[in-house]
Structure 1
Amino acid sequence: MSEAATRPNAHATALLASLDPLLREWLPRQRWFAGKGRPISGFEPVAVTELLPRSSPTGLLHLLLRVHQPPGSGQDPGPEGASAGGPGDCYQLLIGVRRPLPPQLAGAFIGHVTEGPLAGHTVYEALHDPRLAALLLERLRMPGRHGPLRFERDMDVEIPSGLAPRPLRAEQSNSSVIYGDTFILKLYRRVVPGTNPDLELPLHLARQGCARVPAPAAWFFADLGAGPGTADEECGLGVLQPYLAAAEDGWELALRMLAKGESFTDEARALGRATAEVHAALAAALPTVTLGRAQVEQLADAMADRLDATARAVPALRPYAPGLLTAFEALADLGGEGQSWTAQRVHGDLHLGQCLRSPEGGWSLIDFEGEPARPLAERRLPQPTARDIAGMLRSFDYAACSTEPWAPAWATDCRAAFCVGYADVSGRDPRTDPVLLRAHETDKAVYEVLYEARHRPGWLRVPLAAARRLAGTGSADDAL
């Protein structure tokens, strides 16, 4: 094993200074960088670890780097509520260090370092280097510490050595490496202190014997507190899980069947059953709570606040805002009349793209991180299961809007089939609680309006169509 090195602050600062101009150019071009459109005002090293020393022919640096940026005009604070002058986002970087860069790694190039500890070297994205990606798997195979990094694994799961790595190309907020079509390593790019639900929930589900979610085989953290294991300074960095190589992405499957004019209702019903099974296992594994009057009113108020903020940011939503607000008012009214609901841990960001279907027809759920833009503490709160159900219902609408002309009947049939499948397992059709379901679907549509307005303006008409329908001002297809 190479020597672990968490360098003293002076060395880390000097090393970062040598990388500074290169990272200012490279970071904003990465799909997972959340601060696009705002200048980088500075970097702060949180932890610097040499997984391979730069004195070797190929070095590997693991960086936890805080990126400081001024808040953009009209933008929300950062994902953890950071405001102007706040701490900034912390990112996980894996940097390869060589002198000459082989031609096959040209696409991973970050830049040539001209001064400081790395002067004369070329630095690049390490995940594209098979040797360095393989080293990361070896560290996961051998539990233990490496500087501030702590590697753990399920010793009952065999992780062979020598699995050929390849980076997964289609990604957004994180990065993944596939090892020999056997395992997939998901690396979190933007990291925060605390327990990441993407590891926490699959571990609990595995202990419950829930086969609907791939069980973690290995994972690693950074301990950044005064001592090892300080709970509020432990950052989850990545998790290795079985790779379902033959499985088909639910979104791609739905689009393919829709394009062929084929019904998706059998798949939607099976997906409803799978979702209910996961919810039942989570409720058995982790505490549930009852949302009484005060909690329901707080939930409805938070939804109303998000609607108000989004309507200010996206003028196209404003005509529907009064009608949408009635969904949250109806929820608060029921809470005031004594209606209560059970809340539990849920997926938090469920849609067709988070579901995989095996060749045998079984469905698996993946990516339990929740909505990355929301604070970690919020993502770990118990929620009504209606939140996940609403996310999936909205996903059927998105699929139906991907074709011309739009196929509202296809979406309606899928939505109904999903709810029937959910009731097959849970014993309760989500549609029998229309006020709660409408409130969550409305909240999800509002979230989508803001997201599309900022990131994919061409898709804005999709959530606006839902807003029109949910506000009671017309059918969704009339809005397209």
Structure 2
Amino acid sequence: MNSLLSGERPEIAGRALSVAPDDTVAFDDARPAAGDGVARELARLVDPSVPTDAAERAIAVDQTNTSVIVDERLVVKVVGRWAAADRAAHLLERLAGAGSTEVAGYAGRVDWRHPTLGTSALAIVTEYLPGAQDGWDWAVDDVAALLAGTGPEPGFPAVLGATVARLHDALGAHAVPAPDDAPALRERRALVALDAALEATGRSGGPTAARLANRAGRLRRDIRSLGATLPGLAFDLHGDLHVGQVLRSPGTPPRYTVIDFDGDPQLDASERGRTDAAARDVAHLLVSLDLVAAVAQKRLGRADPAAFAWADRARDSLLAAYRGTLVRSELLDPALLPGLEAEQLAAELTYADRFLPRWRYAPDAAITHRHPSTDELPEDPWTPPPFEPTST
């Protein structure tokens, strides 16, 4: 069930809520943490059967919001900034209403009605999935095993395609015609992303800069194709879909669930809430298969053409399963995929430049594989960096 708190500084577990001028949400001027009772009390507002002494356990990931496991059966996601979870709460509630099994079970949300800021989601409570791993672990494990000759051809690409198709069928029930200028806007956004990637890699230097510069014309050509497409249909997407947003839980067969509906973290909050074409989610997921191939090569400590040969097969399998499962076939315009994939590859490089420099090698590998070089600048062949067990 859903619950509502009211007031400028309501208390949870004896700690006063507050919102700073920069929209940071705090409890007695600090972020909540496992063991302080905040997550447990929020969980009890949604599910009164949670014991008053239920255990809290932190989820060991670095994130803007704070997620805590309560009673070993619920995950309480507490926002770090005002309105940060409104989009996710809305979409999870809609998917729960549609009976979707592609997401973790939705228990409810706790909203905060603030006297001057309005009402916003403070916390989302969902099912806890014991033993679940995200795709940067399980997908890379599967592909690395294949490349090492110790594992079979992974079957997950088809599962992912069918899973996302079912999500899109549920969310796409609210699809509306995109505005007439949608093709031009998509093209403009993608060109900005490519220019940002070129600037970032050029500023940082190194072999990635030459490889990207030698392929910028091909990327730009794919992006320009967006302007010649139809507006199509638009609806609320996942917005930041990649294998890392898919949990795999142990079982026979394993269970796959999609998480994190907050939208693209590189976009402003106002942009994350915009509707878009189904092809954007699909393009992002296809790109992530190429990134898995790059990470698997890093894991093995060598460049291996078999990795991208797998990615080629995996992309075909995912797309075939998506199209074969999608009931609302009018949602997908495949003509958008090349341009949106090119944009996402560029965005991955910019993300690496801004937040995670060690990630640059992965989109660099995908761009180098997918787009032929003009050889205008001297370039070195792509090779993976040394493997570090604590990172992708």
Aligned partner letter, 1:138: R
Alpha-carbon distance, 1:378 to partner = 1.9
Alpha-carbon distance, 1:370 to partner = 1.0
Determine helix, strand or coil for the equivalent of 1:219. Answer: strand
Aligned to 1:174: 65
Going from structure 1 to structure 2, the CA distance change for 1:225 and 1:63 (only over 3 Å counts) comes to closer
Going from structure 1 to structure 2, the CA distance change for 1:234 and 1:292 (only over 3 Å counts) comes to closer
Within-5 A mapping of 1:436-447: 436-447=336-347
Going from structure 1 to structure 2, the CA distance change for 1:179 and 1:264 (only over 3 Å counts) comes to farther
Alpha-carbon distance, 1:280 to partner = 0.3
CA distance in 2, matches of 1:187, 1:240: 9
Q: Is the 8 A contact 2:143 2:154 kept in 1?
A: no
CA distance in 1, matches of 2:316, 2:96: 30
CA distance in 2, matches of 1:210, 1:435: 28
| 2:171 is the counterpart of 1:282 | yes
| 2:165 is the counterpart of 1:303 | no
CA distance in 2, matches of 1:343, 1:5: 35
CA distance in 2, matches of 1:124, 1:429: 47
Going from structure 1 to structure 2, the CA distance change for 1:455 and 1:384 (only over 3 Å counts) comes to same
CA distance in 2, matches of 1:321, 1:449: 13
Given the alignment, which residue of 365, 371, 374 partners 1:465? 365
Residues 47-74 of structure 1, C-alpha deviations (whole Å, 9 max, x = no match): 544435xxxxxx52323223xxxxxxxx
Residues 427-447 of structure 1, C-alpha deviations (whole Å, 9 max, x = no match): 6999x9554101111111111
Determine helix, strand or coil for the equivalent of 2:12. Answer: strand
Aligned to 1:291: 178
Aligned to 2:236: 345
CA distance in 1, matches of 2:319, 2:327: 11
Aligned to 2:56: 165
Q: Is the 8 A contact 1:290 1:342 kept in 2?
A: yes
Within-5 A mapping of 1:207-218: 207-218=97-108
Aligned to 1:267: 156
Q: Is the 8 A contact 2:50 2:71 kept in 1?
A: no
Note the residue ranges of structure 1 that are not aligned, 5 or more in a row: 7-46, 53-58, 67-88, 96-122, 143-157, 227-231
Determine helix, strand or coil for the equivalent of 1:129. Answer: coil
Within-5 A mapping of 1:231-270: 233-261=118-146, 262-270=151-159
CA distance in 1, matches of 2:219, 2:239: 21
Aligned partner letter, 1:201: L
Aligned partner letter, 2:177: T
Q: Is the 8 A contact 2:58 2:68 kept in 1?
A: yes
CA distance in 2, matches of 1:462, 1:364: 24
CA distance in 2, matches of 1:308, 1:188: 32
Determine helix, strand or coil for the equivalent of 2:264. Answer: coil
What is the percent sequence identity of the aligned residues? 27
Alpha-carbon distance, 1:376 to partner = 2.7
CA distance in 2, matches of 1:167, 1:215: 19
Aligned to 1:412: 312
Alpha-carbon distance, 1:319 to partner = 4.2
Q: Is the 8 A contact 1:265 1:417 kept in 2?
A: no
Residues 60-110 of structure 1, C-alpha deviations (whole Å, 9 max, x = no match): 2323223xxxxxxxxxxxxxxxxxxxxxx3212234xxxxxxxxxxxxxxx
Determine helix, strand or coil for the equivalent of 1:322. Answer: helix
Q: Is the 8 A contact 1:196 1:376 kept in 2?
A: no
Given the alignment, which residue of 354, 359, 364 partners 1:454? 354
| 2:19 is the counterpart of 1:128 | no
Alpha-carbon distance, 1:292 to partner = 5.7
CA distance in 2, matches of 1:225, 1:375: 25
Q: Is the 8 A contact 1:289 1:344 kept in 2?
A: yes
Going from structure 1 to structure 2, the CA distance change for 1:385 and 1:474 (only over 3 Å counts) comes to farther
Alpha-carbon distance, 1:355 to partner = 0.9
Aligned partner letter, 2:176: V
Within-5 A mapping of 1:386-405: 386-402=279-295, 403=297, 404-405=301-302
Alpha-carbon distance, 1:277 to partner = 0.5
Name the TM-score, length of structure 2 as normaliser.
0.80
Determine helix, strand or coil for the equivalent of 1:128. Answer: coil
| Greater strand fraction, Structure 1 or Structure 2 | 1
CA distance in 2, matches of 1:362, 1:128: 27
> Larger relative CO (CA 8 A, sep 6+): 1 or 2?
2
Going from structure 1 to structure 2, the CA distance change for 1:319 and 1:128 (only over 3 Å counts) comes to same
Name the TM-score, length of structure 1 as normaliser.
0.66
Q: Is the 8 A contact 2:44 2:50 kept in 1?
A: no
Going from structure 1 to structure 2, the CA distance change for 1:259 and 1:309 (only over 3 Å counts) comes to closer
Determine helix, strand or coil for the equivalent of 2:106. Answer: coil
Determine helix, strand or coil for the equivalent of 1:398. Answer: helix
Note the residue ranges of structure 2 that are not aligned, 5 or more in a row: 203-208, 384-392
Aligned to 1:60: 15
Compare 459-468 and 448-457 and name the one that shifted more. 459-468
CA distance in 2, matches of 1:256, 1:245: 19
Aligned partner letter, 2:140: L
Alpha-carbon distance, 1:203 to partner = 0.6
Aligned to 2:390: none
Residues 106-160 of structure 1, C-alpha deviations (whole Å, 9 max, x = no match): xxxxxxxxxxxxxxxxx87542325444333334446xxxxxxxxxxxxxxx655
